[in-house]
């Protein structure tokens, strides 16, 4: 009996070992008492044979695998991927503004970050574009219900087909007669909330109950300076295509204000700081009426419980010491990191230290205890080196007219020695009629002189432009740009604003229309993506009608008609006579006769008495 139990246990470990799951938490203190927290979760399904799903066949549903290859990989998401023939899926939820001058590069080189709102892109296998778009709509509608987002509003008017695919992984086509179609859409005005985080956590094998995912709580994650969630699913097949597996990466990035978290834990409900707790500059005028505030303190102490309101609830998988990793990047000369491992009976504190030639500390959560990490800093201004991003980009609207406007894009290479190549991708809604012939370029080189460059081909090596069609598709613009070292170029072009139909205006139209952020992909010499960033989204004002005017017209029209009807009705149904004629008619009327008879009877009764 013991022998068979050992055999079953061995088979179980072989199956579990074949499907990989790892998670990591990267913590990096930033200037001005901020913290960059990056959560990453990676899972792979078991190898299986995938089939091309054709819903037109009577037995098309049998093309979906039986689900035996799902173990750690979420069974709820797998059938959606397979039934839409999606070979690659990228989903982004982002809110806030990334300060590249203060925080440096985006986490994970921006490859897991998105623009403000929601972005979704997918590689779909299909015989033609029409079927690909049909599966694309099916995919977006399914994801809309799954993540409680407005992805069901994605249609052809906001969908584009980018020419450059930054995550091209050489997908395998299951049916040789098919092609791969790369589709993308964005909803820049979509808010991000707890309802998006809850289904995100349900995709994890721990369901947010163990491992680093136990730190994720909606009120703390979304109460941050900048935050983003991403889901990336890729289909990997062998060369023969006999077996495939799904690889999924989930990540959560957040920049947290430490001082606000400390105040929130101390006070609970935000309230004004008492006068005796104000930090005032004694070198200036200071009394009960005047106070010149000092900056945030630099001698700070905080822990994960302060920042996230929780501690790490043991490892993700008990018995696997390498599944849950914590990576910390600090300046060890000014920072001290302690790990507090506690249970109901005891508590143990250990100090982590980095090697002399490294700023990184790695720690593995391997025992079923509560883990809390404490940071102690003598000068929080001294952080690990901030890496400069390879490119700075600024985009803004110009003009104030109701019928036309313009764009101004500033692209700057901060490197003093290296040139960079990148793809500038932009999609504009159909009601912005772009005029590419108005494109002008101003160049500022190392000398600091601005010059208008008529030879745009010196910097824009290739361009792709697909104009919009009203209510059918958006404008699609892609530039392949090569920017020399220490050079800044400024691009400007004009557009017209179209009028919308009454029913096409969204709620609160006077607030403006959100425009998708531009996507910039930095390439290496082999044309592979090494860094990705977004510009800020824009708010476009269109001529907006007075939506109360129809109701005012209805009320005015009804009032005039009622007055006119009353006057005309009186003229048609009533006769105009003199007062004497009225008295004669009234005396001979039936009512007068009845009244007179009643009076006569009353008089008769009185005389008898």
39 and 123 share one domain: yes
Select from 543, 563, 593 the last residue of a domain: 543
pLDDT (0 to 100) of residue 169: 58
pLDDT (0 to 100) of residue 322: 86
146 and 287 share one domain: no
Q: In what order do the strands lie in the sheet with 226-237?
A: 179-187, 117-126, 86-96, 226-237, 244-257, 34-44, 21-30, 324-329, 360-365
- Name the one residue in this structure whose structure tokens are 């419980």: 305
CATH number at residue 412: 2.60.40.740
Mean pLDDT of 487-512: 90
User: pLDDT tens, 509-549?
Assistant: 888 999 999 999 999 988 889 999 999 999 999 988 888 88
Whole-Å CA distances, 201 to 19, 206, 456 = 19, 8, 48
The answer to whether residue 498 is domain-embedded is yes
Answer whether 0.75 is exceeded by the pTM.
yes
The answer to whether residue 471 is domain-embedded is yes
Range list of β-strands (E), 209-277: 226-237, 244-257
573 and 600 share one domain: yes
Backbone angles phi, psi at 205, to 5 degrees: -65, -25
Longest Cα separation, the chain: 134
Select from 543, 568, 590 the last residue of a domain: 543
User: pLDDT tens, 59-71?
Assistant: 544 456 655 667 8
- Listed in sequence order, the residues at least 6 apart from 326 whose beta carbon sits closer than 8 Å to its beta carbon are 24, 25, 27, 212, 312, 362, 363, 364, 365, 373
244 and 302 share one domain: no
568 and 481 share one domain: no
The answer to whether residue 96 is domain-embedded is yes
Mean pLDDT of 200-211: 93
138 and 221 share one domain: yes
pLDDT (0 to 100) of residue 68: 60
492 and 559 share one domain: no
The answer to whether residue 47 is domain-embedded is yes
Instruction: Assess whether pLDDT exceeds 50 at residue 609.
Output: yes
3-state secondary structure (DSSP) of residue 491: strand
347 and 399 share one domain: no
What number of other Cβ atoms are within 10 A of residue 356's Cβ?
Answer: 6
317 and 220 share one domain: no
User: pLDDT tens, 376-420?
Assistant: 999 999 999 999 999 999 999 999 888 899 999 999 999 999 999
**Domain total for the chain?**
4
522 and 574 share one domain: no
Q: How confident is the model at residue 6 (pLDDT cuts 50, 70, 90)?
A: very low
Select from 233, 256, 279 the last residue of a domain: 256
The answer to whether residue 569 is domain-embedded is yes
514 and 556 share one domain: no
pLDDT (0 to 100) of residue 61: 46
The answer to whether residue 16 is domain-embedded is no
402 and 297 share one domain: no
Q: Which of 361, 336, 403, 498 is nearest to 24 (CA)?
A: 361
Characterise 461 by phi-psi region: left (phi > 0), alpha (psi -120 to 50), beta (else): alpha
Q: How confident is the model at residue 1 (pLDDT cuts 50, 70, 90)?
A: very low
The answer to whether residue 5 is domain-embedded is no
Instruction: Assess whether pLDDT exceeds 60 at residue 4.
Output: no
pLDDT (0 to 100) of residue 63: 54
Distance CA 136, CA 113 (A): 22
Rg (CA), the chain: 35
Structural domain containing residue 364: 261-377
The terminus-to-terminus CA distance of the chain in angstroms comes to: 126
The answer to whether residue 466 is domain-embedded is yes
Mean pLDDT of 128-153: 93
């Amino acid at each position: 009996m013991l022998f068979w139990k050992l055999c079953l246990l061995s088979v179980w470990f072989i199956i579990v070992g074949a499907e990989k799951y790892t998670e990591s938490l990267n913590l990096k203190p930033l200037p001005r008492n901020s913290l960059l927290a990056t959560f990453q979760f990676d899972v792979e399904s078991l190898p299986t044979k995938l089939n091309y799903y054709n819903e037109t066949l009577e037995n098309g549903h049998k093309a979906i695998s039986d689900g035996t290859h799902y173990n750690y990989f979420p069974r709820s998401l797998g059938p959606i991927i397979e039934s839409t023939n999606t070979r690659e899926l990228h989903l982004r939820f982002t809110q806030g503004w990334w300060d590249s001058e203060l925080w440096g590069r985006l986490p994970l080189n921006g490859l897991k970050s998105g623009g403000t709102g929601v972005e979704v892109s997918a590689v779909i296998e299909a015989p033609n574009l029409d079927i690909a778009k049909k599966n694309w709509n099916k995919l977006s509608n399914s994801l809309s219900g799954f993540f409680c987002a407005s992805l069901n509003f994605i249609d052809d008017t906001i969908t584009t087909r980018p020419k450059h695919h930054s995550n091209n992984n050489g997908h395998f086509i299951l049916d040789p007669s098919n092609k791969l179609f790369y589709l993308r859409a964005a909803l820049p005005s979509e808010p991000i909330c707890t309802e998006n985080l809850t289904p995100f956590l349900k995709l994890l094998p721990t369901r947010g109950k163990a491992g680093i995912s136990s730190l994720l709580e909606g009120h703390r994650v979304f109460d941050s300076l900048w935050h983003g969630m991403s889901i990336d699913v890729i289909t990997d097949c062998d060369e023969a295509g006999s077996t495939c597996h799904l690889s999924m990466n989930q990540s959560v990035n957040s920049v947290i204000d430490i001082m606000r978290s400390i105040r929130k834990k101390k006070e609970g409900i935000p309230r004004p700081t008492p006068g005796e707790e104000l930090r005032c500059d004694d070198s200036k005028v200071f009394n009960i009426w005047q106070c010149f505030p000092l900056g945030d303190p630099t001698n700070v102490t905080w822990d994960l419980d302060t920042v996230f309101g929780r501690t790490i609830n043991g490892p993700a998988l008990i018995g696997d010491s390498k599944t849950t990793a914590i990576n910390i990047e600090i300046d060890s000369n000014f920072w001290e990191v302690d790990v507090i491992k506690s249970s109901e009976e005891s508590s143990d504190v250990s100090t982590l230290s980095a090697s002399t030639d490294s700023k990184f500390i790695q720690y593995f959560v391997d025992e079923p205890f509560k883990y809390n990490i404490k940071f102690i800093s003598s000068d929080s201004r001294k952080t690990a080196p901030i890496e400069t991003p390879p490119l700075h980009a600024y985009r803004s609207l110009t003009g104030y007219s109701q019928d036309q406007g313009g764009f101004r894009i500033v692209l700057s290479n901060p490197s003093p020695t290296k040139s960079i190549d990148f793809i500038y991708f932009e999609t504009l809604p159909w009601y912005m009629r772009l005029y590419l012939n108005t494109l002008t370029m101003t160049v500022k080189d190392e000398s600091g002189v601005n010059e208008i460059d008529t030879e745009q081909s010196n910097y824009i090596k290739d361009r792709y432009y697909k104009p919009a069609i009203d209510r059918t598709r958006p404008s699609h613009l892609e530039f392949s740009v090569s920017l020399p070292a220490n050079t800044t170029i400024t691009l400007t072009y004009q557009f017209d604003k179209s009028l919308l139909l009454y029913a096409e205006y969204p709620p609160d139209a006077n607030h403006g229309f959100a425009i998708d952020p531009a996507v910039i992909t930095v390439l290496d010499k082999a044309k592979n993506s090494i860094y990705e960033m977004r510009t800020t989204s824009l708010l476009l004002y269109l001529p907006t009608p007075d939506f109360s005017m129809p109701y005012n017209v209805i009320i005015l029209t009804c009032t005039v008609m009622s007055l006119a009807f009353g006057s005309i009705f009186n003229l048609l149904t009533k006769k105009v006579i003199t007062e004497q004629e009225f008295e004669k008619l009234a005396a001979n009327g039936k009512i007068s006769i009845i009244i007179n008879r009643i009076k006569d009877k009353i008089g008769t009764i009185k005389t008898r008495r």
